Structure 1
């Protein structure tokens, strides 16, 4: 066992090659991107943090409770979510002292060795809070007290951290049913931090979502449209998209089980929608409806200019017992194989060559990088690849993404990095890892004389800053 209280170090050349030649090149490249502003065009931080600018409560509420990357690992080792104070589906919570929950986390921090979570958390502990010993059972209380005390100071309020992290713009993600009052409050406050929203309509698009009937009813009340008719339903989407755009949105996001798209005739779409709203539909009809809505969303994006993102390939809420007790986003989502070439053809047949349309694709199925996604992005002018996502945003996953897409898509048919996180303090750590990996990949190309170092520097800067701004029209 490791002796408690060991020093916590962040080694400067971390993530770079052990070989001195590419390591030296990577360090020179990294020096040119390390201080660039953070562009965070897709994520799930809470806009209420920036609207109210209230102090975060304590270490547990900030670093443990919102982060399913963290508590899913603890759950996998038999620690119930109630022991950590994770909210339940009905809004209640077990009566757990947040310090006690933190002690459980600290006593099991060894479980994260070598994982992305340990990299991000140690970065936060070291750089944000100035801690210099490792987290373990023996240092749990010191960590908790140091972090919680810091959070009560003005320097650790959400807006101050936003500015300290060098965030130029951050996008949150909201349902069409969200009134966006927090975004309105941010605008009215006079604060200069740029926080925009993104349109995520899953709850009014997926007939198999447990809240779909109620969400559809509220969608109609909010828009004044007859959302139980096909044309009224589409008008409601256009109305809410326009509202989101007026509140700063530059993108939409779609978390579908697959990437299936369809191009039904108006009569076919109307009849399918009637089945969906009646509640008498088959799983195949639910999938066809989602597929048709993706194509309708693409048509709307061509009209209103919102960039379209698809995050497919996830079996959500795989653990029914956990879902019933704690609800969605509790670490029980799992990757599944996903096909793109045939699935996207109906949509791309209509919009793949349109200069005013941008579609950003993500995957949880790495086998598609070189076989499907790289070649597709390397051909269609409307199509771009999002970065390694979710289960693959580790250094190895980021490296594989570049390695498998470079030959067919290059660097410039990708969109740089977006952190896609609820864990606010991990954002600079995640961007730092992405920048280091990109610099390491580029250094390898320079060392092999495939590109020159000045070209590599241009690419590194573009990946870190210019490409995400351009892709997301920020």
Structure 2
């Protein structure tokens, strides 16, 4: 076994100069133990409804995490060797061998956020004190596997241990939400809520669109092939999601395009889409119109509208054919926000009752477009550095490029947006350290007083996310109210 120690410096991510580092330490000490607000993510609600032990280290930490296997794939490691499921199902790969393969390649993650998150998990969650390598792979596997067999490492126990106040999963428009209802009936005090992600019945380019639309009609008992029935089906499902705790909807469209068509134009467009007679341009226009329709519904039922555009999804065609979605082949693209959001913002952006949170994978838009937009429209807020930019440098760039124009209070704190449950505390810890370091610099440069920075540190770590996602007062769906 390698004798290289694994330790976490208490000053990691803090500034190198002593004065600013001291300020960052003081700010961080006041927020490090705050409860975690995780208002948007992709963890599996069945973990918390069934509360069964996680099966093994590789299945828990490796197979679901596209941050990990995309980098390994880029170095020629087959996904099958890591236990990543394909369209045919889980591969016949021994989980210990998958872990050994991962450990032998762990050096590839040096300097990446994934290494920082994982080392936090290894030390803080499992008490490991030697570095992961080919030589220590079996030691890691045995320690983690033994822990996972104990009650202390079941999902609900970890949720409580991690001091998670609320965690939002994301479900589709045809999901029964049975696991969320089971959680509510269980008597457990953990707050696990859902979020409405209707992409499969909005995006006509989605490979599941036709089947999802049919299932959408079945689950709502409505004629979803008529424009009126289709919109009503969304209202019904949104009410179902709100009953399961939802406070937000989420939209992962390729672009941020919005539209504000007349009723007749929207109905004609919808008719072409559901009849399979739509063009690529029609499909994009339909997605654009539906963001405006979702905003109308948000004014009625109170759901926060999240827009996650700018990802060229499934860029690797052969990999999509063999393994399906979410296998590390999504690539950021240039995204226009000023022109794209204008129809929606001109219609509803001046109404403070509406809450729109916009994310981006195009960092060039931070200072040029997004900060000025959020610094003007009452309805618009900026989501945190996301996905490829969920990193120390990405978070710093976000703060540096948006704060002077949008301020801190037109942003929404941090959310982890992860499938990797055990990494949630690590990700929030990174965000808190980076934000405290940014605030410390402002204090050291006499651009902010220490008491202001201390208040902001709490806002960024906890309060802004809770407020932005309306987690103090969940929305109430009222079918009698329909915004014109």
| Same fold per superposition (TM over 0.5) | yes
Q: How many residues align?
A: 471
| 1:22 corresponds to | 20
Q: CA deviation at 1:224?
A: 1.0
Tell me, in whole angstroms, the C-alpha distance in 2 between the residues paired with 1:204 and 1:38.
32
What SS does structure 2 have at the residue aligned with 1:14? coil
Structure 1 residue 361 corresponds to structure 2 residue 358? yes
- Which aligned pairs between 1:446-457 and structure 2 lie closer than 5 A? 446-457=443-454
**Secondary structure in 2 aligned to 1:467?**
helix
Q: Partners of 1:296 and 1:101 in 2: how far apart? A: 45
Q: Select 1:393's aligned residue among 387, 390, 394.
A: 390
Check whether the contact 1:86–1:93 (CA below 8 A) recurs between aligned residues: yes
* Shift of residue 138, structure 1, vs aligned partner: 0.1
Alpha-carbon shift at residue 5 of structure 1 (Å): 3.2
CA contact (8 A) 1:360 1:385 kept: yes
Residues in 1 aligned to 2:56 and 2:219: alpha-carbon distance in whole angstroms = 36
Give the superposition deviation at 1:384.
0.4
Q: 2:191 aligned to 190, 194, 197, which one?
A: 194
Mapped contact 1:354–1:381 kept (Cα < 8 A): yes
Give the TM-score, by structure 1 length: 0.99
- Residue in 2 aligned with 1:36? 34
Q: 1:215 aligns with which of 196, 212, 222?
A: 212
For 2:54, which of 53, 56, 64 is the aligned residue? 56
TM-superposition CA deviations, 1:308-333 (whole Å, max 9, x none): 00000000000011101110000000
Q: 5 Å matches for 1:356-435?
A: 356-435=353-432
- 1-side partners of 2:25 and 2:304: how far apart? 34
Residue pairs, 1:119-130, within 5 angstroms: 119-130=116-127
2:182 to 185, 188, 192: 185
- Alignment partner of 1:10 is 2:8: yes
The equivalent of 2:475 in structure 1 is none
**How many Å separate the matches in 2 of 1:136 and 1:83?**
17
**Cα distance, 1:350 vs structure 2:** 1.0
Q: Secondary structure at the match of 1:137?
A: coil
Work out whether 1:472 is the aligned partner of 2:469.
Answer: yes
Write the distance in 2 (CA, Å) between the matches of 1:233 and 1:26: 52
- 1:462 equivalent to 2:480? Answer no
RMSD: 0.7
Matched, 1:165 2:162: yes
Query: 3-state SS of the aligned residue for 2:306?
Result: strand
What is the aligned counterpart of 1:437 among 407, 431, 434?
A: 434
**What is the distance in 1 between the residues matched to 2:275 and 2:429?**
49
Q: CA deviation at 1:94?
A: 1.8
| Equivalent residue number for residue 101 of structure 2 | 104
- Secondary structure (helix, strand or coil) at the match of 2:136 reads helix
Q: 1:85 offset after TM fit, Å? A: 1.3
Question: 1:93 Cα deviation (Å)?
Answer: 2.1
Q: CA deviation at 1:361?
A: 0.4
Q: Supply the distance in 1 between the matched residues of 2:180 and 2:91 (Cα, whole angstroms).
A: 31
Offset of residue 270 of structure 1 = 0.7
Q: How much has 1:243 moved relative to structure 2?
A: 0.7
Question: CA separation in 2, counterparts of 1:394 and 1:5?
Answer: 29
Which whole-Å CA distance do the structure 2 matches of 1:351 and 1:73 have between them? 41
1:295 to 292, 296, 317: 292
**Shift of residue 280, structure 1, vs aligned partner:** 1.7
Aligned residues of 1:5 and 1:139 also touching (Cα < 8 A): no
TM score, norm. by length of structure 2: 0.97
Task: Describe the superposition over 1:45-64 as per-residue Cα deviations: whole angstroms up to 9, x where unpaired.
Answer: 00000000000001001100
Indicate the residue corresponding to 1:74 in structure 2: 72
CA distance in 2: counterparts of 1:200 and 1:127, whole angstroms: 33
Shift of 1:83: 1.0
2:166 is paired with a residue whose SS is: strand
Give yes or no for contact 1:5–1:138 (8 Å, CA) kept in 2: no
8 Å contact from structure 1 (residues 175, 201) kept in 2: yes
